[in-house]
Structure 1
Amino acid sequence: MRIKFALAFIILMIAFVDVFARDVDEDTLKGNIVANPLPKKQWYETIQLRGYAQMRYNGLFETNPNLQCAQCDRSWGGDGEGFFFRRIRMIFSGQIHERIFMYIQPDLASGGSNFAQIRDAYFDLGLDAKQEFRLRIGQSKVPFGFENLQSSQNRLPLDRNDGLNSAVLNERDLGVFFYYAPSEIRKRFSYLVSSGLKGSGDYGVFGLGLYNGQTANLPERNKNFHIVSRASYPWELPSGQFIEASFQAYTGKFVINRNPQTDFDQTEFEEFRYGPTIVVYPQPFGIQAEFNWGRGPEYDPVTNDVVDAPLRGGYVLANYFIQKGKDIFIPFSRYHYYKGGKKFELDATRHRVNELEIGVEWQPNKNFELVAMYTISDRTFENSLNPNNRQQGSLLRLQAQVNF
């Protein structure tokens, strides 16, 4: 399978070599010399720095300290609650060559332990002058799900939904991804972020990728690539309303982390997922919904084993954009649901999630945001260390975010 995927990508790259090779400046072909050309910028003069930091407090009105979600927020639940840096991101990016864009993003508060870890480190290679065709090489987000691709800097709920975020830990992996989008649509993707409408960014109207499959910052544990594909298109209606629809799918083999005290017969599992997305951008009312189905590993508390099992989950989010002078208020509510295993947790932990969130984001200016979100949750998370674990409760969560 690995060889077939590699050959497919080689063929894809060769198919665009002709476009790439023929795209030469016309003045060069004609032998013309431009008089007094402006000096070109050095690569280090094109690098930009931006970022954001998030600090949280989750201990208000908490009814059950055993209600937790380690994937969502390690400061949620338990005895160690307090102020908590969820993210401190520094983003270095720039067009270092007319055909090469670089993007490197470390997180200085990874896992809430205040140590640094690479989140993104990739280069976009433009295959034509307009860079409508691109190859993204390195560690980046896997194009599966709108909310997974949406930056945490822009997302309204404090954490991503379990249903789709359980597909790829930290949403990222190391691989090669091909993206295509016409120039007009690339500008539209950019506008949906810069305008404050909470877009997901530019991942093309079509994407196809090969990636390791064990998720970012973890070693590959088998000889099989994962393959992913996504199609997405943002329409602009005559009224100015934006609507985006997407469909995505992936497949591959994953090696689980097992409890060494158990005797599971199988550690590598075939997995696949597929599902649609619809986004009506908040102008002023918005709605966002995603769902996915598939199969993958899941802990079975009856047999104390990990089995191949079906999975499904998703969410629906409603929001409303209100601007009063320079202040922006975005009230929102999200319900999300998940039934399946989380492959990257111990024994592919069995999850059953029903959760309702009601919150509001306040932006007094572009450099500061405050989110208050009340969570009502019913979560089951079971593995060989805790085979009977259902927790219910509610809490108020707060987050202050600084953008720079």
Structure 2
Amino acid sequence: MALKQFRLFPRRFGYYPFIWLIYLVFPILNLQGYSGYKLLGGYALVVIFTVTYRQLYWTEGKAYSAWLGLQMLLIAVLCIVYSPFNFYMGFFASNFVGWYSDLRRFKRAFAVFAVMVVGLALLSFAKMYGTEGIFLFPFVVMMLITPFGIRSINRRRLLEKELDQAHEVIKDMVKREERMRIARDLHDTMGHTLSLITLKSQLIEKLVVKNPERAQAEAREIQRTSRAALRQVRELVSEMRAVSVAEELAEAGEMLRSAEIALEVDGDAALPGVSDLTQNILSLCIKEAVTNIVKHSGADLCRIGIGMTAGEVRITVEDNGVGVGLLDRGTGGEAQRRDGNGMKGMAERLALIDGSLTLVPGTGRGTLLTVVTPRVVKERKDGETA
């Protein structure tokens, strides 16, 4: 079993804990006037103090309070037994007192700290000469204020973290509710229609020999029913929140940037005059294509081209990756890529608006995906949209 890597301080704090270690130079300098066992004892106290400093970044709960109490005791000993100038080490403890998130524990720790600071300040003032003791007063005030400032900063960070978590929960709830709504709508609108088609198809199977004319009429009725069902599906899709191509390109750029893949976009992403339904389906196709590039291509460049003519919208997505074995596919085609569940879903979405997609090798290497859709979805006289 691999040994766990030792870390002096948690990674999330960066260089902040190391900066404070610089101030341990001062108690070491204050020991230079001593010798023998007292000097060795002073060094030992500084070493133990350093250990408490390190442990306070790792522990919590009762262990945290114990290490903080030991640190305060060491400050008091270094100040009383050695030099009154070691009083300034109280800033270490004032920082850690502010880390208590529980208000009752914070008050308790602050009360102990305040008694220590005031008591050491009075003792140090008695040992200092002339006006030296006067300079202690502002430091006492700063030490007593610091825990409140540190606690306020930590509480704000905690609230921001909780707010971010709440936003993620809300996003998940919105997605879940949207899926449930779509499922309910599909069940309510399509369940009866599909049941009707099933019954009529069973009837046709019985009538095809006995009464061919009646079977033909029922078949025509199934066609009308299926077209009505297709229209209902399109209405459901159009009622969903439409994501524009421009919005999807912004998200694609973030995804590619995270994967260290450059993105080049050519054309007008606004697609003026293109319906929300068409833009939504095109956005889903772009998302699927970019996801495939990030996961499978090994590319470092993605080019997305957007073009419009009087009758159609054309989007190309090309990468310079390793490429795959590809097959052309049009609307309703049965050919699939070996990893083609995503591509199959793309083709099925495009079929709703009479669109098509084609996959071919790229100009140099990699893959070129071309998506073509009509600019206007027309309503045919038989009720089926095109």
TM-score, length of structure 1 as denominator length: 0.20
Structure 1 or 2, whichever has the larger Rg, is 2
Q: Tell me which of the two structures has the higher relative contact order, counting C-alpha pairs closer than 8 angstroms and 6 or more residues apart.
A: 1
Which one has a larger percent helix, Structure 1 or Structure 2? Answer: 2
TM-score, length of structure 2 as denominator length: 0.20
Which one has a larger percent strand, Structure 1 or Structure 2? Answer: 1
